[in-house]
């Protein structure tokens, strides 16, 4: 569109790695992925709690090691130690804070941020992006956000809770019931939402992304037990 002379390619990287860690180029691509690791760069998926490396198609924290890693943050050794960690293999890995998975062909798929991960009372981890992708596919949904609400039954942990912004003229009760029932039928058992409600507008950040923090401030203690999705 702007008469650029060079081809554009999608990739994944961060300042701490000097440049891109993965890339899609020369036909190397899969829909939804950010490509394969660059030469000499190693990408791994690790359990955020145990640092155990996970297998193919398992969601965990994206960690990267290789010669392009930074030496550390300027005058901030504490944050350097938090981000650059030595694993059992003896290597120093950059912990990205991103959730993702690697498939059998080595393609990386980004699935969200660790800070958005919802932990239930039983320790099971729910990744909001899975529900959001499912719900955003509905024609009547303009936007949706999945946040964690406090577990009102066990006294600890959180459950996934869905907020949707609907297209004009769509009946909210009908849409919420349909989405709730769909999630119960298609989402993993321990990843099902405890509620779905429609709001006028999902707040956005200055960057145009869903403002999950604002939503959590409002709905963290929402009493989902009063919702009824019976027809």
pLDDT tens string 77-126: 999 999 999 999 999 999 999 999 999 999 999 998 999 999 999 999 89
pLDDT at 199: 95
- The owner of tokens 């155990």 is 52
Contacts 24+ apart (CB under 8 A), 89-92: 91/42, 91/65, 92/65
pLDDT at 229: 84
**CATH topology classification for 117-226:** GMP Synthetase; Chain A, domain 3 (3.30.300)
By C-alpha distance, which of 153, 158, 162, 151 is closest to 129? 162
Q: In 10 A of CB 114, how many CB atoms?
A: 16
CA 121 to mean position of chain CA atoms? 20
**Among 51-55, 136-140, 151-155, 197-201, whose mean pLDDT is lowest?**
151-155
Q: Over the chain, what is the mean pLDDT?
A: 93
Pick among 3.40.50.1820, 3.40.50.300, 2.40.30.10, 2.30.38.10: CATH of 11-113: 2.30.38.10
Residue 1 has pLDDT above 60, yes or no: no
Mean pLDDT of 39-66: 95
pLDDT at 163: 96
Give yes or no on whether 11-113 and 117-226 have one common fold. Answer: no
Q: Which residues are registered as beta bridge partners of 93?
A: 85
Q: Where are the domains of the chain?
A: 11-113, 117-226
pLDDT in tens, 114-161: 999 999 999 998 999 889 999 999 999 999 999 999 999 998 899 999
Q: Report yes or no: 155 and 125 within 8 Å, Cβ to Cβ.
A: no
């Amino acid at each position: 569109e702007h008469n650029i002379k060079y081809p554009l390619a999608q990739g994944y990287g961060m300042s701490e790695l000097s440049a891109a860690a993965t890339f899609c180029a020369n036909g190397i691509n899969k829909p939804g992925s950010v490509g394969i690791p660059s030469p000499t760069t190693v990408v791994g998926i690790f359990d955020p709690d145990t640092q155990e490396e996970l297998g193919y198609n398992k969601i965990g924290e994206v960690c990267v090691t290789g010669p392009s890693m930074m030496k550390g943050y300027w005058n901030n050794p504490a944050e350097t130690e938090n981000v650059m960690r030595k694993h059992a293999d003896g290597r120093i890995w950059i912990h990205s804070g991103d959730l993702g998975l690697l498939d059998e062909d080595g393609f990386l798929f980004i699935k969200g941020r660790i800070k958005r991960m919802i932990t239930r009372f039983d320790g099971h981890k729910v990744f909001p992006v899975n529900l959001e992708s499912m719900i955003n596919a509905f024609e009547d949904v303009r936007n949706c956000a999945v946040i964690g609400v406090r577990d009102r039954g066990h006294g600890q942990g959180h459950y996934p809770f869905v907020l949707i912004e609907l297209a004009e003229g769509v009946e909210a009760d009908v849409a919420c019931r349909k989405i709730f029932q769909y999630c119960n039928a298609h989402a993993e058992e321990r990843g099902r939402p405890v509620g779905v409600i429609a709001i006028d507008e999902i707040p956005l950040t200055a960057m145009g992304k869903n403002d999950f923090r604002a939503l959590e401030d409002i709905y963290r203690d929402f009493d989902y037990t009063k919702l009824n999705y019976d027809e």
